[in-house]
Structure 1
């Protein structure tokens, strides 16, 4: 979809990222996030669009977006799904302090922003924080003990046969996921487990990201009616593909990281930016559980100087990890005491979606 159509039908565009957090420096990029409502053909016809994240060199309406590569404008239905799922990166969009574009339709959405807050934030905010920790630990490992060579199949016991390629692995793991889902779908006592594996967590993604443990191999073999040697090759191939993926990520990290950030990382022994975002996410999640509000601007939250201190290397890796551990513990307590609903009211969100589309109208494409 052309940029000008997206902009004509945008209901809000906000300044997010470091500027939204109050953590920007003079050289910080401008991260714009927005929402638009697609024309009629995308709702009633075959065409589909979820977001626009490139093409900002096309002719448009809003000059501040010209050639800005850090811009994403989501289609309404896509972002409502992300909001209902308590996605931290999009939830904050409804609590920003700076909206260069805000129409009456956008104001109506913001008026109903509390509809998207639920206890799910404990899982999503801590999950995003743990992702930062994972990146931090990976970079720390590369700093302290860098990989010496590209992994080979023989390093993982694959000698006389070719390792399974990524497509083979994903196809089998997709099949395994469907079998597991089918086994528990109609078991009444497993209803919560079914919900967990199909909606609350990305179980399919976990199957594809982590190696099958030894203790699951026999069951997997029986469940899929596979040969024992195939299951062993599957596990070895997973280990090999994970190591290969990490090797490629290491080379990319070496080649592309910002020189100033790399120097700070070398001095401190860990990635300061990932450490800061980990703490910011955990504090934000805790605030939502305790106060039922999102405080995006950390100057208002009162911890902007503390977060900047992490970025400047004034805290050690151990201190940041201890902060994170304490915040996770506080979130556990806040979760049990929070007055937020356990899960979002999808029926009301669906109704709000229809209201917003009707308010916007179909217009001309």
Structure 2
């Protein structure tokens, strides 16, 4: 039982619902439909080496958690999992009576102050990451090793390519010999007849060295900025992988509002922070959002990024006070969680 089709055929699902933006009441015309659920692994699978804690599709739009993993995540006050115990009734596809035994009161605790806030700040980092990508795009034409090579020319440095151009030299006739005790520094020799290896082979990630006769004299000292080149390669790969995989409609929306940040991530930042505050004050997880209009304004890019970050930091500081005054339990009772897990599984197998 490794696929969603096999899971459904096994009749092991005890809960299934719509989650995400449609459950929050924040869905727009282009929003995906996220499905979440809980299943109990068949007895022979649970006691075997084939135990599986989660089954999902490739895009993670559809995810089912095995009962043990579900209870474990509840015990950690995972925001996405706690929400499943309070999704609106119109989002519930199926709920076995056995699932009703899992009460949110058993798990909702002061841990939420950190789990919701930390998750919220993850969204801020994602939004800031997009900001950097929009403001500092990486050119498609990839730089080479030679672009990170410099030579000492008198009292100053000069890019190798410029030096070769000025001196009317060709890179393929250059030979490099590493200088001991000087990191990434090389003596550069030049000869059209000695068969030197050149500066770097095509698509190489390092310069190449040559065998040079002892009597030859270097024409200049070369420095290869290896750290700078490695950092550039990492940035190049991250950027163009992001370009390839990004949601084009979502990106177009982020560019159109001109604020240079991922407004959807920022919307979820404030949803999570507001939910954390409500949990402390009301002892309840409000999934369907009453602050829908304000959250959608954030998604539409109506606010400046720096103002949103400032407001988020203010709310996070306020959470300290709200949770200090809250009547919530300090953390879930793991003994009770284990008893609940065992009793539900035993009852399911018996029936």
TM-score w.r.t. structure 1 length?
A: 0.67
User: In the aligned structure 1, how far is the partner of 2:327 from the partner of 2:138?
Assistant: 48
User: In the aligned structure 1, how far is the partner of 2:144 from the partner of 2:80?
Assistant: 35
Give the corresponding residue for 1:249: 238
Aligned length: 268
Deviation readout 1:53-83 (Å, 9 max, x if unpaired): 038xxxxxxxxxxxx9611000000111111
Q: In 2 relative to 1, CA 312–320 (structure 1 residues): closer, same or farther, beyond 3 Å?
A: same
Give the corresponding residue for 1:127: 118
2:328 to 340, 348, 361: 340
Q: Give the Å deviation of 1:150.
A: 6.8
Q: Give the Å deviation of 1:145.
A: 2.1
Select the structure of larger CA radius of gyration: 2
User: In the aligned structure 1, how far is the partner of 2:284 from the partner of 2:234?
Assistant: 39
Deviation readout 1:208-237 (Å, 9 max, x if unpaired): xxxxxxxxxxxxxxxxxxxxxxxxxxxx99
Give the corresponding residue for 1:106: 99
User: In the aligned structure 2, how far is the partner of 1:242 from the partner of 1:129?
Assistant: 28
Q: Give the Å deviation of 1:4.
A: 4.9
Please tell me whether residue 17 in structure 1 is matched to residue 26 in structure 2. Answer: no
Q: In 2 relative to 1, CA 350–240 (structure 1 residues): closer, same or farther, beyond 3 Å?
A: farther
Q: In 2 relative to 1, CA 335–23 (structure 1 residues): closer, same or farther, beyond 3 Å?
A: same
Deviation readout 1:168-213 (Å, 9 max, x if unpaired): xxxxxxxxxxxxxxxxxxxxxxxxxxxxxxxxxxxxxxxxxxxxxx
Please tell me whether residue 3 in structure 1 is matched to residue 28 in structure 2. Answer: no
User: In the aligned structure 2, how far is the partner of 1:21 from the partner of 1:34?
Assistant: 17
User: In the aligned structure 1, how far is the partner of 2:230 from the partner of 2:121?
Assistant: 22
Q: Give the Å deviation of 1:44.
A: 2.1
Q: Give the Å deviation of 1:242.
A: 7.7
SS of the residue corresponding to residue 323 of structure 1 reads helix
What does residue range 72-87 of structure 1 map to in structure 2 within 5 Å?
72-87=63-78
Cα RMSD after superposing both structures: 2.7
Q: Unaligned stretches of 5+ in structure 1?
A: 56-67, 161-235
Q: In 2 relative to 1, CA 47–151 (structure 1 residues): closer, same or farther, beyond 3 Å?
A: farther
Give the corresponding residue for 1:48: 51
| Greater helix proportion | 1
Please tell me whether residue 264 in structure 1 is matched to residue 253 in structure 2. Answer: yes
| Greater strand proportion | 2
Q: Give the Å deviation of 1:85.
A: 0.7
TM-score w.r.t. structure 2 length?
A: 0.70
What does residue range 53-72 of structure 1 map to in structure 2 within 5 Å?
53-54=56-57, 70-72=61-63
SS of the residue corresponding to residue 11 of structure 1 reads strand
CA contact (8 A) 2:263 2:301 kept: yes
Give the corresponding residue for 2:173: none
Give the corresponding residue for 1:165: none
Q: In 2 relative to 1, CA 120–133 (structure 1 residues): closer, same or farther, beyond 3 Å?
A: same
SS of the residue corresponding to residue 100 of structure 1 reads strand
State the structure with bigger RCO (CA 8 A, min sep 6), 1 or 2: 1
Q: In 2 relative to 1, CA 79–247 (structure 1 residues): closer, same or farther, beyond 3 Å?
A: farther
1:325 to 287, 291, 313: 313
User: In the aligned structure 2, how far is the partner of 1:13 from the partner of 1:96?
Assistant: 11
CA contact (8 A) 1:6 1:38 kept: no
User: In the aligned structure 2, how far is the partner of 1:325 from the partner of 1:347?
Assistant: 35
Structure 1: which 4+ aligned runs deviate by more than 3 Å? 2-5, 147-152, 157-160, 239-247
CA contact (8 A) 1:132 1:277 kept: yes
